[in-house]
Structure 1
Amino acid sequence: MELHLLADKAEYIPKIAKWYSDEWGDIGESRSTKALELKLTDYLNRNKLPMIVLAMEKDKLLGAAQLKFHEMSIYPDKEHWLGGVYIDKPYRGQGIAKQLIDKVIALAKHYQVSHLYLQTEDHSGGLYAQSGWQSIERVNYKNVDVLVMKKVL
């Protein structure tokens, strides 16, 4: 498996938009897949944030994760977020998410980010808790109960 930036594999934007729409499209303001495709063009960066990291096996897209700004509007002071961690269903349970998350953390450190935040519907914290993320609080955001977590880099 190899990790790439979306900026180097922009042809996968429609697939990622479909994944995100299918998985989270009913949360908050529903966006069409086309609207998500347009939003994902903001991540076509190689030397600045925001970025999306892709997990690939040859020409097969396995998953994606984002290093982004201000994911939750209720936390305007929390700037940098890990988000959009998605692994295509046939490839789940193989450690791909951890590799994507580790790469996002490495990129965040490279860009001198001191804290990363995330939100998850898994109130146990799951993989994130196992990887040293600390729970901040549980909140209802856009009609979904989520756990907000933080990692000091």
Structure 2
Amino acid sequence: MPRLDWLANHMSYSDTLAEWLYRQFSYEFVEQPLADWQREFADGQRNGNWKCLIALADGELLGSAALAKADLAERAELGPWLACVFTTPQARGQGLAERLIDAICAHAKERGITRLYLHTHDRRDYYLKRGWQTLECLQVWGEEQWLMQRNL
């Protein structure tokens, strides 16, 4: 079973994970070069802007989820956010994303956070089944995005 740990403890994976996220969510990075995002993401592990939890098995990076201070400029008043949810193709369908998400929610709750937000363009049903509520649908980056929240 993959173990979960903070990316800050395994920074050698930071650039790889940032690149995976950059490719998975490419519409979000149209105006930002990969190297700039990698630098921002790595800095975010140190300053808390992108506190990322990762899944590892036998030294292999399998997935991530993050507690982000800000993740949607169009709703800058909201936060914190569940962000950077990703699993590698070989790790999908095994409940790993759910483990990562639950761990981020538990971490947030332990810190006195009572509500998290997220945005998704294609996984709304996934999150609805896991206790998230839809707030609104908006157009961002030329994509339909569902803004959602979950009380912790």
- Fold match by TM threshold 0.5: yes
* Unmatched tracts of structure 2, length 5 or more: none
Q: Any residues of structure 2 matched to 1:9-88 within 5 Å, and which?
A: 9-27=10-28, 29-45=30-46, 50-88=50-88
- Which residue of structure 2 aligns with residue 141 of structure 1? 140
Matched to 2:6, the amino acid is L
Q: Residues 110 and 50 from structure 1, CA distance in 2 versus in 1: closer, same or farther, beyond 3 angstroms?
A: farther
- Which residue of structure 2 aligns with residue 108 of structure 1? 108
Tell me if structure 1 keeps the 8 A contact 2:49–2:70. Answer: no
**CA positional deviation for 1:28:** 5.1
Structure 2 Cα separation of the partners of residues 134 and 6 of structure 1: 28
Q: Residues 28 and 141 from structure 1, CA distance in 2 versus in 1: closer, same or farther, beyond 3 angstroms?
A: farther
Q: Residues 79 and 89 from structure 1, CA distance in 2 versus in 1: closer, same or farther, beyond 3 angstroms?
A: same
Tell me if structure 2 keeps the 8 A contact 1:68–1:83. Answer: yes
Q: Any residues of structure 2 matched to 1:92-107 within 5 Å, and which?
A: 92-107=92-107
Matched to 1:54, the amino acid is I
Q: Helix, strand or coil for the counterpart of 1:31?
A: coil
- Which residue of structure 2 aligns with residue 8 of structure 1? 9
Structure 1 Cα separation of the partners of residues 29 and 12 of structure 2: 27
Work out the percentage of aligned pairs sharing the same amino acid: 26
Structure 2 Cα separation of the partners of residues 22 and 152 of structure 1: 30
In terms of fraction of residues, the more helix-rich structure is 2
Deviates more, 1:67-76 or 1:51-60: 67-76
* Unmatched tracts of structure 1, length 5 or more: none
**CA positional deviation for 1:112:** 1.1
Q: Residues 6 and 21 from structure 1, CA distance in 2 versus in 1: closer, same or farther, beyond 3 angstroms?
A: same
Q: Residues 37 and 49 from structure 1, CA distance in 2 versus in 1: closer, same or farther, beyond 3 angstroms?
A: closer
